[in-house]
Amino acid sequence: MTEPRRLRGHKATATCCIASRDRSGVVATAGEDGCICLFDLRCKDAQHIAEVAQEPISSLSFNPGNEDIMLVRGTPFKSYTYNKEEINQISCNSKAAFLASTDDGGDVKIIDIRQHCLYKTLRAGHSSICSSVQFIPWRSWEVITGGLDSKLVMWDFSKGRPVKIVDFGLPDTKNSSSGAQCLNPAFVHAIAVPDVDMLDKSDKICVVARGDAAGTGILDENARKRLHLDYSVGGHAAAVSCVAFSLFGEKGKLIISGGNDKSVKVWDCSKYDGAVQTGGNSDVLRLNINLSKKVNWLCTTPTDSENLVVCDTTKVVKVYSIS
């Protein structure tokens, strides 16, 4: 792995990043300095730096279908103040009709961004901090959330109630590494679901970044556990902080995870034999990238090079080329 390209613009730690689907090579990053930096990877320097908040920005998202609009946790241009606690992640559905935001109180707010009003509040799914949220592209009225109560919750947000709850804190008799959960709780730090145009490569799955020894977990669309990408197949040695599907090459074929063990791992789950239990096929790990700092967030771009963007615990964003 060659030395990464370095993107400079933040005055404090870079917390998150997103890549444009419509404009090749365009990447936006946010940081603890309350700034958003917009980069065009064809150019040397940041194209635009905007101070949009007086506090750290934990999440941002392009508006699908109109990437001239960016949704930012903390943005002043159009403000929604429905969450009572600190917001951890925001996500927009594929039709740009609804915005979901999760908070420290465990609530999930579904906001109608066309009518500019609160649509639903999702409660009683999480008993602790709700850390992550994603809409399910192939199910128009469903959203999936993860929390620091070790739960993954699938919701019907039109009715405002859970459809299915998976508790990773419960012992998994099929997983030999479950005994390590007493030392490292199975907190859900991040989740990723594939876009509709990725389903022929990835299938209808949810990838879960966990804090315990099971590392990165993959579930099918009915929330049944499919496999664990743990240490036995070259997985992370500490909590996994973020996960993403590849936008480059064959979309959705690869899964990329970043962790507190200062590493990024690229997984090819088409190499896995499909067994639910841990172990069996080491070919699933395609690439390991060792870093000097813990990973805060990562994203991929739909280009042949400079296609992996990593925010670690420094103010400099790194860009790698995965072939």
Which of 43-47, 183-187, 192-196, 245-249 has the least mean pLDDT? 183-187
Residue type, 182: C
Backbone angles phi, psi at 119, to 5 degrees: -95, -50
The answer to whether 23 and 12 have CB atoms below 8 angstroms apart is no
pLDDT in tens, 145-173: 999 999 999 999 999 999 999 999 887 65
Model confidence at 275, pLDDT cuts 50, 70, 90, reads: very low
pLDDT of 183 reads 64
Distance CA 44, CA 7 (A): 8
pLDDT of 227 reads 79
272 pLDDT higher than 70:
no
Q: What is the mean pLDDT of residues 195-203?
A: 85
The angle at the Cα of 322, spanning 33 to 189, to the nearest 5 degrees, equals: 50
What's the Cα-to-Cα distance from 272 to each of 45, 106, 225, 286, 316, rounded to whole Å?
Answer: 40, 34, 14, 11, 35
76 pLDDT higher than 70:
no
pLDDT of 185 reads 86
Which residues does residue 231 pair with via DSSP β-bridges, in sequence order?
A: none
Distance CA 170, CA 186 (A): 9
Which of 78-82, 116-120, 200-204 has the least mean pLDDT? 78-82
The CB density around residue 115, as the number of other CB atoms within 10 Å, is 9
**Residue among 274, 244, 248 at smallest CA distance from 259:** 244
pLDDT in tens, 13-22: 999 999 998 8
* The pair of three-digit structure tokens given for residue 118, joined into one six-digit string: 């609160």
* The pair of three-digit structure tokens given for residue 113, joined into one six-digit string: 């961004």
How many residues can be counted in the chain? 323
Which residues does residue 308 pair with via DSSP β-bridges, in sequence order?
A: 300, 320
Average pLDDT value over all residues in the chain: 87
